[in-house]
Structure 1
Amino acid sequence: MNTALLSRLTESDSLAVGVLGAGNIGTVHLKSALVMPGVDVRAVADARSENRARAKRAGVSRTYDDYATLLESEDLDAAVVALPPFLHADAVEQAAAAGIDVFVEKPLARSSAEADRMLEAATDAGIAVGVDHTLRYQPDVVGVKEAYEDGRVGHVPYASITRLNDGALGRPPATDSPPEWPLDADAAGGGSLLELGIHCFDVLEWLFGDLEVESAAIGETLELPVEDAATVLLRAPETETTITLHCGSYQWEQLPEVNTRLRLEGVTGTIANEEYLPENFYASAAKSAIGNVAGRVTGDDPDVFGPTFYLRAHYDALAAFFDAIRNDERPPVDGRDGKRTLELAEAAYECAKPTGSNDLEATEVTL
């Protein structure tokens, strides 16, 4: 633990936290931190005035329009980086210069090379880096892992995971223009493979150990500048498991439906994540979703923990990070894990590249 953090923690039992970015996911992290015991949210930074106003309504006393100014002005133990991916590296490097531990929204970076730069800065500064890979914290996914490790289905020769969601365009009819950065490959690093596939890579290595990418295909079901669909064939040498992964941002989410499917096909049976959904999940989630719709009419902010348990998983991931830095331990999902998912995504992108040759035309057929 860095000396600055140690001295601050001896003065107070609460972690002093800043939130960088108060958009959709930033608000989830903000509201999580605000209700977390032992956490004092000092300030929020966001370039958009409406997001700063939302942070103040949530109970934050100080807001900044620039995250660099927040990091310079506030005496913090940790910062939550919920900015667009193209700002992650700069934010982490500036936090490292100030000796502030960071919890970074996924993807950690736009590339493994950029992640290397960030992790080098973190190591030099002695700060911890956590990454928000939340599927590990969903109760249905945890249930699958526990059943698998208990040997319920024995050896698993084959597994599959699918994660679908709506992309930057949102559910039609679209009433607002989408943010520019998710549809910009340079700003986001990629499309659905980085937005959704990253989560899947992380969970699969959590289950089966190191993965190898054998083949991949990416495409566009909509006319967008980034891919909105990707299918990857993987192999886990340690467990001798073949895995298919599909992710896509072409299917509009219908709350409270679950848009992640995880199945393990074992020699004595199948484990599926649907078996481990919380009791009364659909009824309680539907009630919360209706309440949020009504809140739009009255002008109330939505209950970020309401529509599905996915958002509770963000709370648990952030709480686990805070617990780790309090105890001077490696975060459960750290920067190396975040970099590893980027390496797998890059391998998939490489496999999906056109070969430039036509095998049918190159084959000589004789009769």
Structure 2
Amino acid sequence: MNKLKMAVVGLGHMGRHMIHRLLPQYADTIELVALCDSDEVSMNKEVEAAGISPRLYTDYRQLLGEVELDLVYIAVPPSLHYDVAKIAFEKGIHVFCEKPLANSLTEARSLVELAEQSDLLHAVHFSLPLEPAVLKLQGLLEEHAIGEIQSMELFLEFPQWPRAWQQNPWITSRQQGGYLLEVGIHWIQMIQQLFGPITHVKSEVEFPSDSNQCESRVQAVLRLHNGIDIHLSGTDKREEDERVSLVIHGEEGTIALENWCNLFKSGKDADLQPVPVEDNNSLLPILSQIVKTLHGDSGIFFNFYDGYNAQVVLEALRNPGEGFTDLSPQLMVAKQ
């Protein structure tokens, strides 16, 4: 089996995670042939620390033009996703992109079209639907463990933004940053994967006086295609520890997915109790699913259609209209 030739573009938090933590697990199937980052000094330090020797670039255009590749992992800020992915498709390179898919809905839709025209693999790094706790949650819902769903609550609440480990020049910018874009997009995509399309959004967003800064407070309602409402509460001024959670209220009880991976369930008028979650036969990381697919096997991952439809909701949240905004005309269905 020939190794896949891969490049990583961008060495922020996710790019570093890829070269230090993930790729060493795939040494038999992936060859990291090139890296790109605008900070050459930092890139050299990361390469030395990882003990690797790929070709190094500070210009992704030069990298994509010179290096023979099967796959590129895009981990640059969102404003660059479109250009890197577009060039990759033009060069016949499969694309694995960090979320959000693009920096605007126009760019995201264009990337879906480019991906379809290329007939290449296109994946967005959404892993939440394949997390063991979410798979267990899905199983409980399929068993009607809490009866018919009546409503949900989504909490994106932080004592500060950005979080201490997440410092970079763009994470607080209104254009590319904010917790809706960085964190909320994961939950939007997971909700649409489990429950179907979000078709209507109503939101109120408070921004700091500095027009360059991202959202501070958000109150919103996300309405599913079946009329179920999800009430969203977001803040960067939470007085307690961070809470990133989905609470599902049914006729016969409640299920709560607290802080990404802790699952709880209660019956009607009872207290929430922990639900054991087994981590056997994990489908993660997403990179493993991409490798399987590119080697001709069946893999599970989320493509640019998923990225685009999540971004439809994200942009409606970040740009409130009067009352509910109907998203149905904008949503896309993948071609068979």
TM-score by length of 1: 0.72
**Deviation of residue 253 (structure 1)?**
9.9
Q: Mark the CA change 1:108 to 1:93 in structure 2 (over 3 Å): closer, same or farther.
A: same
Rounded to whole Å, the distance in 2 between the matches of 1:270 and 1:217 is: 27
The answer to whether the 8 Å contact 1:233/1:243 transfers is yes
**Deviation of residue 333 (structure 1)?**
0.6
1:309 matched to which residue of 2? none
**Deviation of residue 45 (structure 1)?**
1.0
Paired AA for residue 134 in structure 2: V
1:198 matched to which residue of 2? 185
Residue number among 324, 330, 344 corresponding to 2:313 in the alignment: 344
Residue number among 244, 247, 252 corresponding to 2:231 in the alignment: 244
Rounded to whole Å, the distance in 2 between the matches of 1:111 and 1:212 is: 19
Paired AA for residue 32 in structure 2: V
Q: Are residues 1:45 and 2:40 paired?
A: no
1:291 matched to which residue of 2? none
**Deviation of residue 332 (structure 1)?**
2.3
Q: Are residues 1:183 and 2:172 paired?
A: yes
Rounded to whole Å, the distance in 1 between the matches of 2:201 and 2:17 is: 36
Paired AA for residue 262 in structure 1: L
Q: Mark the CA change 1:222 to 1:53 in structure 2 (over 3 Å): closer, same or farther.
A: farther
Measured against aligned partners, the alpha-carbon deviations of 1:11-44 in whole angstroms (never above 9, x if no partner) come to x432221111111111112221221352222221
Measured against aligned partners, the alpha-carbon deviations of 1:99-154 in whole angstroms (never above 9, x if no partner) come to 11111100000112101222222222222211112222332222212211222112
Q: Mark the CA change 1:268 to 1:106 in structure 2 (over 3 Å): closer, same or farther.
A: same
Task: Give SS of 1:351's match.
Answer: coil
Task: Give SS of 1:109's match.
Answer: coil
Q: Mark the CA change 1:196 to 1:169 in structure 2 (over 3 Å): closer, same or farther.
A: closer
Alignment of structure 1 residues 235-314 onto 2, 5 Å: 235-238=223-226, 240-250=227-237, 259-274=243-258, 277=261
1:58 matched to which residue of 2? 50
Larger fraction in strand = 2
Paired AA for residue 106 in structure 2: A
Measured against aligned partners, the alpha-carbon deviations of 1:295-352 in whole angstroms (never above 9, x if no partner) come to xxxxxxxxxxxxxxxxxx9951222233233337686210000000111122223435
Q: Mark the CA change 1:276 to 1:56 in structure 2 (over 3 Å): closer, same or farther.
A: closer
1:305 matched to which residue of 2? none
The answer to whether the 8 Å contact 2:38/2:59 transfers is yes
The answer to whether the 8 Å contact 2:152/2:231 transfers is yes
Rounded to whole Å, the distance in 2 between the matches of 1:97 and 1:143 is: 40
Larger fraction in helix = 1
Q: Are residues 1:117 and 2:110 paired?
A: yes
Task: Give SS of 1:182's match.
Answer: coil
Rounded to whole Å, the distance in 2 between the matches of 1:353 and 1:24 is: 37
Q: Are residues 1:75 and 2:75 paired?
A: no
Rounded to whole Å, the distance in 2 between the matches of 1:326 and 1:253 is: 46
Q: Mark the CA change 1:182 to 1:276 in structure 2 (over 3 Å): closer, same or farther.
A: closer
**Deviation of residue 274 (structure 1)?**
4.4
TM-score by length of 2: 0.78
Residue number among 187, 207, 219 corresponding to 1:231 in the alignment: 219
1:207 matched to which residue of 2? 194
Task: Give SS of 2:111's match.
Answer: helix
Any unmatched runs of 5+ in structure 2? 264-281, 324-336
Aligned-pair identity (%): 25
Rounded to whole Å, the distance in 1 between the matches of 2:260 and 2:311 is: 29
Q: Mark the CA change 1:129 to 1:158 in structure 2 (over 3 Å): closer, same or farther.
A: same
Rounded to whole Å, the distance in 2 between the matches of 1:180 and 1:228 is: 18
Rounded to whole Å, the distance in 1 between the matches of 2:232 and 2:194 is: 14
1:301 matched to which residue of 2? none
**Deviation of residue 262 (structure 1)?**
1.6
**Deviation of residue 168 (structure 1)?**
5.9
